Amino acid sequence: MDILLSGTFGAREREAWRQTLAAVFPSGRWLDDAQAKATPSSVRAAVVANPAPGALQGLPALGLIQSLWAGVEGLLADPTLPPGVPLARMVDPRMNAAMAETALWAVLSLQRDFFTYADQQRQRVWRQHPQRRADETRVRVLGLGQMGRAVALALQRQGFDVAGWAATPRALPQGLAGYFGDAALPEVLAQADILVNLLPLTPATRGLLCAARFDALPPGAALVNLARGAHVVDADLLAALDAGRLRHAVLDVFASEPLPPAHAYWTHPRVTVLPHVAAATDPRSAAEVVATNLQALADGRPLAHRVDRVRGY
Ligand code: NAP
C-alpha cells in the first residue's frame, strides 16, 4: 500500500517516524510529498502531522487521512482538505495516561499550594498555608472524551470531588458525575474550585473561557488548561488573575506557540507555563494505532477514531 507521510517535521523526525511506522506496517511504501505528487493515483492513505496546505489534494485513491496528533482543528481549518475522505485522529491510551499524570500533578500542586511554596523558596520565605483536603476540593473537568475521562477518573481515584461536563447526556463509568449541554455549564462552573479544560477546539468552544465564565467560578478558583490555547481569552484570564478572582492558572497550550517571549504569562506570579507537553504523541504506541487503522483500510473494515467534520471533533 502506498502511504503519504506528510507533516511539518524536520528531516530527522520524519525519518524516525517513517522507520517506526514501517516496522509495524511493513507492507506500506512510505512516500514523501514529492513522491506522492509523482504517483498520485497509487496513494491509498496519508499519515499526517500538520501537513502543508494542499499536500492532500489531487490524490484520487485516498481512503484514509490519519492524524498523528489528537487535535485536528488545524486539519479541519485547511480548505484544501479533500472532502469525503475519512479523517481519523490519534487516540492512544498511553497519551490518555500521560494526560492524567499532568492533570494529577497540576491539581495536587494547586490543592496543596506547591506552586506557592516553589515561589516562596525563590524568595527564602518560610510560611505555612492551611492544608486543603482532596475530598473537599471540587475539580470540574470540561470535556469527557479520551483525555477528559482518563483525567476525571484518575482524580477521582486520588480522592478529589470530581464531576465532568460534555455535550451528549449518558451514564459515566465508575460513578463519575456528569453534566451535559450548554444549560448545565453555569452549575458546573459554580462548583469548580479547580477547572480542568479538556475540550476540543471547535467553533462552539473557541473563546469559551472568557470573563463571564471566570466570573461564574467560585472566588479563588484555579484553571488548568491542557486542551488548546484558543479556548482562553488571554486578556480576560490575566484580568481575572490580577483582580484575585482566580488564584492560579496552569497553562500548557497557547493561542500562539511557542509562547512569544514578551507574553505576560511568562512572568506572571500566578501563572505556571508548560511548553505544550501535557501528553505528547508517543511514536511507539501511536505507530501501532496507525497500523491498526491502515490494516482496517486494507481489509475494507470500518476505520477507528473517525472525526465528525461537522461537529469538529
Ligand atoms: P475527544 O475525545 O474528542 O473529547 C472531547 C470531549 O469534549 C467530549 O466529551 C465531548 O462531548 C466534549 N465536547 C465537545 N464539544 C463540546 C461542547 N460544545 N460542549 C460540551 N462538551 C463538548 O477529545 P480528546 O482526545 O479527549 O482531547 C481533548 C483536548 O485535549 C483537545 O483539545 C486536544 O487537542 C487536547 N490535547 C492536548 C494535548 C496536550 O499535550 N496538551 C494532547 C492531546 C490532546 P461528547 O462526549 O458528549 O461528544
**Which tens digit of pLDDT belongs to each residue from 200-225?**
999 999 999 999 999 999 999 999 99
Q: Report the nearest atom of ligand 1 relative to the CA of 226.
A: 41
Q: Which conformational region is residue 79 in: left (phi greater than 0), alpha (psi within -120 to 50 degrees), or beta?
A: alpha
C-alpha span between 42 and 141 (Å, rounded): 44
- Three-state SS for 189? helix
Tell how far the Cα of 128 is from the centroid of ligand 1, in angstroms: 37
Q: Are strands 138-142 and 161-166 parallel, antiparallel or unpaired?
A: parallel
Q: At what angle do helices 93-111 and 114-122 cross, to 10 degrees?
A: 60
Does the annotation count 276 as an active-site position?
yes
Q: Backbone phi, then psi, for 165, in 5-degree steps?
A: -130, 135
Contact 225, 232 (CB under 8 A): yes
Distance between first and last Cα of the chain: 27
User: pLDDT, tens digit, for every residue of 4-34?
Assistant: 999 998 999 999 999 999 999 999 999 999 9
C-alpha span between 47 and 189 (Å, rounded): 38
| Structure-block grid coordinates of residue 299 | 481489509
According to the model, what pLDDT value does residue 17 have? 96
According to the model, what pLDDT value does residue 150 have? 98
Confidence of residue 39 (pLDDT cuts 50, 70, 90): very high
According to the model, what pLDDT value does residue 74 have? 94
Q: Ligand 1 test: best mutation among 199, 285, 311, most atoms within 8 Å of CB?
A: 199
Give the other-Cβ count within 10 Å of 128's Cβ: 8
Show Cβ contacts of residue 299 under 8 Å, excluding neighbours closer than 6 positions. none
Question: What average pLDDT does this structure show over 76-97?
Answer: 96
Percentage with pLDDT > 90 across the chain? 99
Does the annotation count 263 as an active-site position?
no
Q: Report the nearest atom of ligand 1 relative to the CA of 278.
A: 40
Burial of 166 from C-beta contacts in 10 A (0-12 / 13-18 / 19+): buried
Percentage with pLDDT > 70 across the chain? 100
**98 CB under 6 A from ligand 1?**
no
**Nearest-5° Cα angle at 251, 271 to 215:** 75
According to the model, what pLDDT value does residue 313 have? 97
Confidence of residue 227 (pLDDT cuts 50, 70, 90): very high
User: pLDDT, tens digit, for every residue of 243-291?
Assistant: 999 999 999 999 999 999 999 999 999 999 999 999 999 999 999 999 9
The distance of Cα 68 from the centroid of its chain, to the nearest Å, equals 13
Contact 17, 5 (CB under 8 A): yes
**pTM of full prediction above 0.75:** yes
Contact 175, 203 (CB under 8 A): no
Tell how far the Cα of 144 is from the centroid of ligand 1, in angstroms: 7
**311 CB under 6 A from ligand 1?**
no
